[in-house]
Structure 1
Amino acid sequence: MISKEIVVANKTGIHARPASMFVKTATQFKSNITVTKDGKTANGKSLITILSLQLVKGSNITISADGADAAEAVDTLIKMVESKFGEE
């Protein structure tokens, strides 16, 4: 399993549009992907569970993947969060 931590930096957090971008990207990987915040874990390929984490600006999250393409999946998703989903 590969895991990396990141802080959500975009002003509006991960609301519906960036969450759907995240899920769309996550589903392109074979690995199981999870997002964890404050001890709660969500399936990285499920829009509903990602939104349920209420990822606001400043949220410290851990993106994890387990599978053949885990490292690539985590790196790609971390870069998306770092880019603030193109919102700023």
Structure 2
Amino acid sequence: MAERTVTIASAVGLHARPAALFVQAASESGLDIEIGRKGEDPVDATSILGVMALGAKHGEEVVLTADGEGADEALDSLVDLLSQDLDA
């Protein structure tokens, strides 16, 4: 299982547009990807409701995990995405 930690760069955190862009990218990977805070239960990264309910705010760290062929590349791409201000 591949794992990455990233700090949320979007000013509004993972809400509305940033969450939608993240979920779309996670879904396009075709992999089982989860996102969560350290020490908390992760949620399905392809679920807009799950990602928004996570309530990840600007500056918070989240952990991404994925299983399957291409997991490292998919997570690297998602880390790059979350490292940008997706509200701009």
Give the structure-2-normalised TM-score: 0.90
Q: Runs of 4+ in structure 1 displaced over 6 angstroms?
A: none
Q: Which residue of 2 aligns with 1:83?
A: 84
Structure 1, residues 3-54: CA drift from partner, whole Å, max 9, x if none? 1101112221111111111111111112200001141311010000000110
Equivalent residues in 2 for 1:5-84, closer than 5 Å: 5-38=5-38, 39-84=40-85
Root-mean-square deviation (CA, aligned residues, Å) is: 1.2
* Number of corresponding residues: 87
Give the structure-1-normalised TM-score: 0.90
Q: Percent identity?
A: 26
Q: Which runs of 5+ in 1 are unaligned?
A: none
Q: Which runs of 5+ in 2 are unaligned?
A: none
Higher relative contact order (CA 8 A, sep 6+): 2
